[in-house]
Amino acid sequence: MTSIVNENPVFVGIIGGSGLYHLDNLTFVKTVNPETPWGFPSSPITIASLPSGTQVAFLARHGTGHTIQPSAVPSRANIAALKSLGVRAILAFSAVGSLREEIAPGTFVLPAQIIDRTKGVRPVSFFEGTGIVAHASFGDPFSMRLVNWLEPRVRKAIEAEGRGVQLFTGKTIVAMEGPQFSTRAESLMYRQWGGDLINMSALPEAKLAREAELSYALIATATDYDAWRPHTGTVTAAEVMKTLHANASTSRLIAATILDELHAAVSQAAAAGGEVPEILSEEVGSMKFSIMSRPDKQDPADRKKLAYVLPEYFSGEEA
């Protein structure tokens, strides 16, 4: 595991969604493809440096050629691989449908809540398949410190772009199974439930980031109005494609504008004796009291597996 005192630490990971398979203005350093206890990530991870020399890690959620179904994204391997590189904060981009008139295609949103409509076919926990039980807190599924930090910076970046892209915060995203889009009845139901956006990838990604004690924020980019509008057609992939390109270019601009400062905010305390930086403080240490299984009942093989993602609690001898 790469440590915080590395010469060129990679503290920030970016997960690119549909349409966002690479970033701009970065100098390629290398690709890495760590085999984790949960397999390989969706694609080799690109380590690249910003003009300042800051290095970041980029991972394409569906693979670089978009070959992985939403239900088959190896989210455990993705999150574990990023953590193994030293990543502490993840900016995840996602193409989403809108469930609200005011969130027009082309709008960017930093959601605050998730409604789970996945169907139990995705592994959702690093603890699954082990004899160690843990219950992560997930009431606030995104890292609100990170989201609040992002809001003014993302707003500034999109204003500077000058295309009139709007930004919303505090919204609720429905994470559905797919790969088919929703029916009109489902879409209307999600609105009644309080959903504002819909995608197929917020979960289990956000849950796994929480279990790994990583700060995680989603930058949701609206591509369509889903299926709830009475007098218009329902979402099609062709509709999504119309906005995907422009959204990806705004996403790249956002990344280029904020990554240096985010890296600095995440590393701010490293030099000052290893205190936990403010922006990470909700997540770091959050699993400490989530682990229910008595240490003397924990199988060493399970501990070894979990140490890959939570060395903080599992790398030593059992207590």
Ligand X SMILES: Nc1ncnc2[nH]cnc12
Binding-site annotation: residue ranges for phosphate: 18, 61-62, 94-95, 201
Q: How many residues bind ligand LNRAV4D5 (CB under 6 A)?
A: 13
Given the rule CB under 6 A, which of 52-60, 210-218, 221-229, 275-283 is the region that contacts ligand X? 221-229
Q: Output the smallest distance, CB 309 to ligand LNRAV4D5, in A.
A: 22
Q: Output the smallest distance, CB 61 to ligand LNRAV4D5, in A.
A: 4
Contact string (CB under 6 A) for ligand LNRAV4D5, positions 251-290, x = contact:
----------------------------------------
SS3 per residue for the chain? CCCCCCCCCEEEEEEECCCCCCCCCCEEEEEECCCECCECCCCCEEEEECCCCCEEEEEECCCCCCCCCHHHCCHHHHHHHHHHCCCCEEEEEEEEEECCCCCCCCCEEECCEEEEECCCCCCCCCCCCCCCCECCCCCCCCCHHHHHHHHHHHHHHHHHHCCCCCEEECCEEEEECCCCCCCHHHHHHHHHHCCCEEECCCCCHHHHHHHCCCEEEEEEEEEECCCCCCCCCCCCHHHHHHHHHHHHHHHHHHHHHHHHHHHHHHHCCCCCCCCCCHHHCCCCCCCCCCECCCHHHCCHHHHHHHHCCCHHHHCCCCC
Query: Is 130 or 182 the residue whose CB approaches ligand LNRAV4D5 more closely?
Result: 182
Query: Is 55 or 143 the residue whose CB approaches ligand LNRAV4D5 more closely?
Result: 143
- Selected from 54, 55, 199, 251, the binder of ligand LNRAV4D5 by CB under 6 A is 199
- Selected from 10, 11, 14, 17, the binder of ligand LNRAV4D5 by CB under 6 A is 17
- Selected from 45, 56, 61, 225, the binder of ligand LNRAV4D5 by CB under 6 A is 61
Active site residue 302: no
- Asked whether position 226 contacts ligand X by CB under 6 A, the answer is yes
